Each structure stands twice: as structure tokens, then as C-alpha cells.
């Protein structure tokens, strides 16, 4: 007997504003039963000019409406109403807040110290009890934070407030031009191999803590950090599987691809018991995994040492060896046109994961990123470029 699809509720979550006469809100799609497990949280376009996730969220919501959801699924299909409005002279600025609050996907509240303080004497041998205690401590810490200072910190707080206690958090982003790839914590691999295979990702970049406090890490890093701090008391598993899902490049937006990506997310949710498929029986085999995970510290950044036109030699998805030419930076104003090119080479071997989508670079601008198997010296950029 088929069960009815889970209820679907759409809520508007008002956000505080810094400017009179303006009002913003988050549209939140809720499926299943509040408080039931597993809890899944999906959001798109935290970087507001990253469109692929918006269309994937649309297809995901359509699909979820017809499915049975034993736990709770929250989808925020457009996670950044501040950023979506930032049009400057016809150009959409979606990555950084124009009010000076920085990169929208950085500086999420750090709940670790507050939770650790509240967990003293509460961690023991029972894993499940520890998971519940950690969630409770994270919630109490979040609730006790001072009021956010400004519209963007308030947005970050609101998003984290819906996601911090989820079992699965999928933050849908894209790069400029890229193959599909994931960012996640070391502790979440190979757990995320299912999503990787289903989405056909070509790179999985792992770190324990990138240092930038992006959204996924605000949800996941507390788990392994608290596990280390309380290792002598009892086990704390990485109970929040949070990942930043990079859905190719900014212009890779079409219905077929978005529907397939949404289906991949549904596939992961079925495998993890968050969605009950219509056909009971054994799960279908996963497609082949297209890559092994590599360290985020192995992501080589190819930066323009001079300004000029970018003439690429290699495409995204290409495999390269150290020393292979990736692009020329061409200075058309050079007095000698035979001496107008600066060739940028791969600092290490790997896959060309992402490229700049513009073809003119400032000095110091990122031209391409190559995911390699071994850690590199991170230099001035740290683990996250900006
Ligand atoms: Zn992004």
C-alpha cells in the first residue's frame, strides 16, 4: 500500500534589516515532521550569483512533494536575499556583501567553545546519548549568542539556526567554470562517496578545518573538534554530514542537468533513509566513483603574476602533470608581440578543477585551480582562496 506523500509547508522567515523601508525574508520549504530524524537541510545560492543550485532546488522541491519523508527535510531554495539584490551598474555582486560584511560564506558563528563548556561531565560511553547531548549544547550555545550585529550576520545566524542540528547538510554552490566537486571534512570521507558517485563529482577536497568558517564547517567541524576534546570521556561521532556541493560553473544551468542533480540528491537521501522510495526492495547500485578524495591543501592555485588576457591551454576536467602549461597571460600592449606572453604552468599534477570564467586577469587573480593528491605549501592564500 502506498503511503501518502509527506506534508509540504512553505514559511517566510523574516530577517532583521539595517535600513528602514526595506524588508527581507527567507522562504523555507519544510517536509516531513519537525524534530523527526533523519533531519536534512539543503540550501542554495548562499553566494547569491551562483545560479545552478537555484534550479536544482526547484527540481528537488518538486520531487520531494511526491515522496514520503520519515524524518524532516528543510529546503531553503534561495539562501541569500541580501545578495540577490546586489546589482551594481547592471552587474550582480553575489559573493561579497556590499555593506562590508565580507564573503557571505565565511564567518559563521563558532559554537565549539560554548558547547564544550556545556558538555563538561556530560559525555560518556553511549554514542547516541553523546550525539543528543552535543546537539543540545550546540543549540544552547547558539541561543546564548549576543544579537547579531547587522543584516548579514543575522542572515548567517538564521541559516545556521535551521541547519546546525541536521544529520545531513547540503550547501549548493558553484565555481566560475568547473567540474562538479565537493568540499567536506576529513572525517566525512568515505561517507560522502555515495553523493560523490551519484553526482559524478570529479574532485572531493577534504580538510579538518579550512579556517574560514564557511557554512558547512560551522555545522560539521564542532563534531570532530568536540570528539577530540572529550576523547577521554567517550565517543562523539561526526553526526552532521555537511558538505559544500559545487555544481560546476556559473553558466552551467539547464533543466536536464538540474533535474539530474536533484535526482542524485534524492538518491543519497533514499540510501540514508531520509526519503522512502516508491519501490521497496534493494537499493540500486551506485554509479562508479569518478575520483578519490584529495586534501584541500593539495589544491594548487594558478595565479596571474601579471595582468592580461587569459588564453587557456587546458579545459576543466583535464588531467595535468607538474609543469604543464595551463594558460598564457597575454599583454597586447607589449612593444614586442613575440615577448607578450607569460605562460602559467601547473605547480603539481592533478585535475583542472576550476577556471576563471572571465578571460582578462588582474595581477594576482586566480586563473585556475588544480586538485592534486598531495598537500602543498598553502602560501599566502590559506586553504580557502578568498
Ligand atoms: Zn559559492
As a whole-number percent, the residues of the chain with pLDDT over 70 amount to 96
pLDDT of 67 above 50: yes
Q: What pLDDT, in 10s, does the model give residues 343-356? A: 999 999 999 999 99
Residue 178 Cα to ligand 1 middle (Å): 12
Residue 237 Cα to ligand 1 middle (Å): 27
Residue 50 Cα to ligand 1 middle (Å): 6
Residue 190 Cα to ligand 1 middle (Å): 23
Domain boundaries, the chain: 8-291, 296-381
pLDDT of 319 above 50: yes
Residue 278 Cα to ligand 1 middle (Å): 33
Phi-psi category of 107—alpha, beta or left, where left has phi over 0 and alpha has psi -120 to 50? Answer: left
Average pLDDT over residues 116-128: 98
* Superfamily holding 8-291: Zn peptidases (3.40.630.10)
Average pLDDT over residues 261-278: 93
State how far the alpha carbon of 386 is from the alpha carbons of 57, 105, 223, 326, 355, in Å: 26, 10, 25, 21, 15
Classify strands 181-185 and 293-295 as parallel, antiparallel or unpaired: unpaired
pLDDT of 1 above 50: no
Average pLDDT over residues 57-78: 97
Q: What pLDDT, in 10s, does the model give residues 191-201? A: 999 999 999 99
pLDDT of residue 279: 64
Q: Is the CB of residue 322 less than 8 Å from the CB of residue 300?
A: no
pLDDT of residue 280: 66
Class level of CATH domain 296-381: mainly beta
pLDDT of 2 above 60: no
How many Å apart are CA 110 and CA 113, to the nearest integer? Answer: 8
CA angle centred on 192, ends 190 and 198, rounded to 5°: 120
pLDDT of residue 222: 98
Q: Is the CB of residue 323 less than 8 Å from the CB of residue 345?
A: yes
pLDDT of residue 4: 59
Amino acid at each position: 500500500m502506498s503511503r501518502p506523500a509527506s506534508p509540504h509547508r512553505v514559511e517566510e522567515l523574516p530577517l532583521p534589516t539595517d535600513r528602514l523601508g526595506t524588508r527581507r525574508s527567507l522562504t523555507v520549504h519544510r517536509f516531513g515532521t519537525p524534530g523527526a530524524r533523519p533531519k536534512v537541510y539543503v540550501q542554495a545560492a548562499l553566494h547569491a550569483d551562483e545560479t545552478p543550485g537555484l534550479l536544482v532546488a526547484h527540481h528537488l522541491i518538486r520531487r520531494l512533494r511526491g515522496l514520503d519523508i520519515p524524518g524532516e527535510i528543510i529546503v531553503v531554495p534561495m539562501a541569500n536575499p541580501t545578495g540577490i539584490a546586489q546589482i551594481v551598474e547592471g552587474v550582480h555582486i553575489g559573493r561579497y556583501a556590499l555593506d562590508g560584511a565580507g564573503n557571505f560564506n565565511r564567518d559563521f558563528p563558532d559554537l565549539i567553545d560554548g558547547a564544550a563548556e556545556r558538555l563538561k561531565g556530560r559525555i560518556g560511553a553511549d554514542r547516541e546519548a553523546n550525539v543528543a547531548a552535543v546537539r543540545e549544547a550546540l543549540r544552547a550555545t547558539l541561543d546564548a549568542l549576543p544579537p547579531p550585529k547587522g543584516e548579514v550576520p543575522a542572515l548567517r545566524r538564521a541559516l545556521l539556526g535551521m541547519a546546525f542540528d541536521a544529520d545531513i547538510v547540503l550547501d549548493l554552490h558553484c565555481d566560475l567554470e568547473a567540474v562538479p566537486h565537493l568540499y567536506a571534512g576529513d572525517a566525512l570521507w568515505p561517507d560522502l562517496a555515495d553523493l560523490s558517485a551519484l553526482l559524478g563529482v570529479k574532485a572531493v577536497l577534504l580538510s579538518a578545518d579550512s579556517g574560514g568558517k564557511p557554512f558547512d564547517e560551522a555545522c560539521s567541524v564542532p563534531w570532530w573538534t568536540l570528539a577530540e576534546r572529550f576523547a577521554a570521556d567517550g565517543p562523539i561521532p561526526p553526526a552532521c554530514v555537511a558538505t559544500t556541493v559545487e555544481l560546476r560553473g556559473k553558466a552551467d544551468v539547464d533543466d536536464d542537468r538540474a533535474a539530474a542533480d536533484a535526482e542524485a540528491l534524492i538518491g543519497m537521501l533514499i540510501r540514508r533513509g531520509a526519503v522512502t522510495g516508491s519501490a521497496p526492495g534493494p537499493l540500486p547500485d551506485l554509479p562508479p566513483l569518478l575520483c578519490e578524495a584529495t586534501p584541500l591543501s593539495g589544491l594548487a592555485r594558478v595565479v596571474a603574476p601579471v595582468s592580461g588576457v587569459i588564453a587557456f591551454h587546458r579545459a576543466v576536467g583535464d588531467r595535468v602533470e607538474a609543469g604543464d602549461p595551463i594558460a598564457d597571460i597575454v599583454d597586447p600592449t607589449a612593444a614586442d608581440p613575440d615577448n607578450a606572453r607569460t605562460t602559467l604552468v601547473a605547480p603539481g599534477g592533478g585535475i583542472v578543477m576550476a577556471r576563471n570564467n572571465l578571460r582578462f586577469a588582474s595581477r594576482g587573480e586566480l586563473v585556475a585551480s588544480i586538485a592534486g593528491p598531495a598537500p602543498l605549501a598553502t602560501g599566502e592564500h590559506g586553504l580557502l582562496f578568498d
